[in-house]
Each structure stands twice: as structure tokens, then as C-alpha cells.
Chain A
Amino acid sequence: MGLEEAKIAAHPLPDFDRPPVIETALSVEFAPLARWTGADFGLFFHEIMADYPIAEVQAPIASAVERFGQERWVKPQIEIQVFTGEPLVRYWFKNEPEGKLLQLQRDRFIHNWQRVGNRPYPRYPQTREMFASAWSRFLAYLQARQLDSPVVSQCEVTYVNQIARGEGWDVPGDAAKVTPLLGTLPGQFLPSPEVLAVDARYVIPPERGRLRVALQPALRTTDQKEILQLQLTARGSPKSSSTEDILGWFDLGHEWVVRGFVEVTSPSMHARWGRVH
């Protein structure tokens, strides 16, 4: 049993019967694959299309690296993308009925789970396994094509929770009922706020990464419902690029997301979501 596992065994993670999580993503960022070409997207798609039958092109995601100390403040940079014949794109490989999405670009590999209908959240061990399985297929593809293995710089765990209007809040000012990070407004002069949001960041010691918490009102475009979206993202550097170390960082990030979620949400909301322990 590793140290992280031992700590979790001693202090089990909180759990809910009906958590408001609607989407999770496990992501790794790595140095751009040197000999990866546009054709590789198609060839890799061929390998996985039985499980991810729909491919879609998206704009690429920018690099996101947690920095500390002097490294944190860097001069403004203008990023110039030099086209050498290979367009910078991100591909989505989707399995919508199962709520699975694999996102791939030259320097990113992301596996998402999204809630489908009223199906329950499959829980972290399963989403971790989904990532591990897809990542191992990706590594096998790279090996078969004699491409370099990814040099991983960042791991990222993202949980997106959505709380619809009427499920514990009615007006934006009610965000304080959802999170203790917001105090109650006195309401003597100001009207109820039109928009109220939270932006909090926490260092995962000792500089292993950061947990970012954002609560914001939004309109969900699939059903036009007003929601409060609470997103928690843990990001940091794994010890190495090995799958074991990547999954080890995900375990740490997941623990921070779950324990963080409990501390940034109110007991009344916990009761609504059926907190087990």
C-alpha cells in the first residue's frame, strides 16, 4: 500500500448518494510529440473507433502549467505558431451513448466522462480505469509507430458540478447557500446581485500543484436551464512520465478535489446530495 493509499484508508473520502457532478476529465500534458502527423490522428482513430465511433475536430487547448516561486511570474509572451505543414488541432473521439470522450492533440491527452440522462456517476475508480485503458492504447500506438513516448509535464483532474436553479438556490445572491466561501450580503442598500462568483486557489503542498475552485452562474445550452457551475481542477507535475506516476498524481488530485468539494460546499447542500460520510 502506497503512502497516499494509506492516508486515504485512514481517513476515507467523503461520499454522496446523489453528487451534482455532471462531468469529469483526467488530462495529461506532455512535450509536443516530435514526429506526430495529421495522419496519426486518423490511424489512431482507426484503432479506437469501435469504442469511440465519432471523430470531430476542435480548436487546440493552450498549455497550462502550474508554476511556483520565481517561476510563477514570467514576462508577457506572444505565442507565435509556426505552421510547418501540420495544423495544430485537437480531435474529439466520442462515444455519446456511454458519455465517454477522448481528446487528443500533439501535447495533450484527455479522457472525459459526462453524465448521460439519469445514469449514476460511475465513481473515480471507473473513470481512472477508463483513462488508464485509453492511455495504454495510445502508448501502444506510439510504440507500434516507433514514435517517442510522451514526456509528461502536467496531470490534471477536473470535476464539473452543476446545480440547477431551484435545487438549493433561486437567485444569484443565493450562492452563499451553496458555498461557505461567500458570506451573506447585508442587503441594506444593494439589490440582489446580478452575478456572483467565486475564484479560489489552493497550493497542494509542498508545491505539488494547485487546486482551483470556481463557482459561477451560467446557462446550460443543452436544456437552457440556469445553473451554478462549480468546477474543481487539481493540476501539477507527476514524479515521472510512467503510467504509475500519472495515475498516482490523479489519485492525489482526486483526493484534493473531493475533500475540497466538501469544504467549499455547505452542509445544507450536502444533505440535499445525500452525504453518506
Chain B
Amino acid sequence: MFRLRGLRRPSPNAPGEVKVKPGKAVHGIMRSATDLFEPWSSAFDLPPVQWGEVISYTAAPDWFLSSVNTVMALSKLPPGWDSYGSEPVSGEASTQALRVLSLLSGQRSTTPHIGPVAGGGLQMEWTNDHRALELEVRPDGSVEFLRVYDDDRMEEGQIAPDRVDYLRQQVSWLYSA
């Protein structure tokens, strides 16, 4: 079992600190070929003609629902929730955390451990037997990652706004060991 260490915080004016842009989410239900076939037989398939993008909870994996509920609950923490006068979780952080979860909703994943970070951020941790991944959403909505390998090597960095694929790769990396 890994113990994740806190991310090193960059200076407040770190260059290149950017937000993750929303990207295409994966949604929908794969229908069994042995079903009696009726077009669009589940109403819970989103209408294929729909332009606006949503992630249906009826089609979403359990880990996604559970994680969204956790983020929603943490976003209601009062000021001073840690007994040390911390700011509540910022709107930017909770929105960005939901965006990250949306981008990962079609990925193979387990439920991450999600917790608040002093100062108004959120942290999401995934672990398996060999690897661990930590994503920290800072109060301004920027995202940092920390990878921990099974030989205790670590790799950290920021996730650029145009690297949605990189975010998905992080989680894929976790389960590729």
C-alpha cells in the first residue's frame, strides 16, 4: 500500500499554470446483440441527435456517481472545516474536479479517494497493488498530478489545458501495470 505524499506546491505565479478544458465525454449503453432489436430501445440512451453533451447517470459507472456525490458534499464544507481556518472548497476547484471526472467517465477506473485540501482545493487518489496516482485540483482550478511507481519512483507535473488525452492516460497508466 502506498502512502501518497502531498504535492509540492508551485509558486503562486508559476508560469504555464492553466486549466483543463472540457473534452468529449463517453456515454451511452452498449446493447446486447442478442436483445430483440428495437431502435433506441432504452430511453436512457441519450437521443443520438442531441447536440449538447451530458453524462447520463443511468449509463455512468458506479465509481463516477459515487465520486460526483463526494465532490458535491465536499463543496458544501464550511469555512474552517479543518479547524485551522481553511477556506471552503472553491467553486473553481469543485467545477474542475467534476470536469476531470467527466473526462474520465468512460475510462476503466475504481472509485478514487477524494478529500479536501487546505486552502480550498480537492485531491483525488487512485491506488492499485503496484501504482498510485494523485490528482490535485488547486483552488484556482489548475490540476497537478503525482504518479508513484512500485519502486517508489515518483513523477509529478501539471496537466495542460489541451492535453485531455494526457489526463486519460494518467488513469490508464494506473491500470496498465
Using Cβ atoms and an 8 Å threshold, which residues of chain B touch A156? Answer: 49
Inter-chain contact A65/B39, CB cutoff 8 Å: yes
Which residues of A in the span 154-200 have a Cβ within 8 Å of any Cβ on B? 156, 158, 160, 162, 172, 194-195, 197-200
Using Cβ atoms and an 8 Å threshold, which residues of chain A touch B37? Answer: 74-77
A: contact size bracket: 35 or more
Inter-chain contact B57/A217, CB cutoff 8 Å: yes
Inter-chain contact A216/B57, CB cutoff 8 Å: yes
Inter-chain contact B44/A219, CB cutoff 8 Å: no
Inter-chain contact B38/A25, CB cutoff 8 Å: no
Smallest CB separation, A162 vs chain B (Å): 8
Using Cβ atoms and an 8 Å threshold, which residues of chain B touch A221? Answer: 22, 25, 53-55, 99, 102
A229 to B53, CA, bound (A): 11
Contact with A along B29-49 (1 / 0, CB 8 A): 000011111111011101111
Using Cβ atoms and an 8 Å threshold, which residues of chain B touch A63? Answer: 39
Q: Cβ of A23 < 8 Å from any Cβ of B?
A: yes
Smallest CB separation, A157 vs chain B (Å): 10
CB contact between B98 and one of A62, A64, A224 (< 8 Å): that residue = A224
Contact flag A195-B58 (CB < 8 Å), given A72-B38, A76-B36, A219-B68: yes
Count of B interface residues, CB-CB < 8 Å: 35
A224 to B54, CA, bound (A): 9
Smallest CB separation, A107 vs chain B (Å): 13
Smallest CB separation, A108 vs chain B (Å): 8
A73 to B34, CA, bound (A): 13
Using Cβ atoms and an 8 Å threshold, which residues of chain A touch B48? Answer: 61-62, 64
A111 to B34, CA, bound (A): 33
Using Cβ atoms and an 8 Å threshold, which residues of chain B touch A101? Answer: 51
Using Cβ atoms and an 8 Å threshold, which residues of chain B touch A220? Answer: 52-54
Using Cβ atoms and an 8 Å threshold, which residues of chain A touch B68? Answer: 219, 226
A227 to B49, CA, bound (A): 19
A231 to B95, CA, bound (A): 25
Q: Cβ of B154 < 8 Å from any Cβ of A?
A: no
Using Cβ atoms and an 8 Å threshold, which residues of chain A touch B42? Answer: 199
A218 to B51, CA, bound (A): 15
Q: Cβ of B65 < 8 Å from any Cβ of A?
A: yes
Using Cβ atoms and an 8 Å threshold, which residues of chain B touch A78? Answer: 33
Q: Cβ of A213 < 8 Å from any Cβ of B?
A: yes
A153 to B72, CA, bound (A): 45
A194 to B60, CA, bound (A): 12
A231 to B49, CA, bound (A): 11
Inter-chain contact B47/A218, CB cutoff 8 Å: no
Which residues of A in the span 28-76 have a Cβ within 8 Å of any Cβ on B? 61-67, 72-76
Smallest CB separation, A268 vs chain B (Å): 23
Q: Which 3 A-B pairs have the closest CB atoms?
A: A214-B43, A64-B39, A199-B43
**A-B contact list, 20 entries, CB within 8 Å:** A22-B52, A25-B47, A61-B49, A62-B39, A74-B36, A75-B37, A76-B35, A158-B47, A194-B57, A194-B65, A195-B58, A197-B57, A213-B43, A216-B43, A216-B58, A221-B25, A224-B99, A224-B102, A226-B68, A231-B46
Interface residues of A (CB under 8 A from B): 22-23, 25, 27, 61-67, 72-78, 101, 103, 110, 112, 114, 156, 158, 160, 162, 172, 194-195, 197-201, 212-214, 216-224, 226-227, 229, 231, 233
With A219-B57, A231-B50 given, name 4 new contacts (CB 8 A): A25-B49, A65-B39, A160-B50, A217-B57
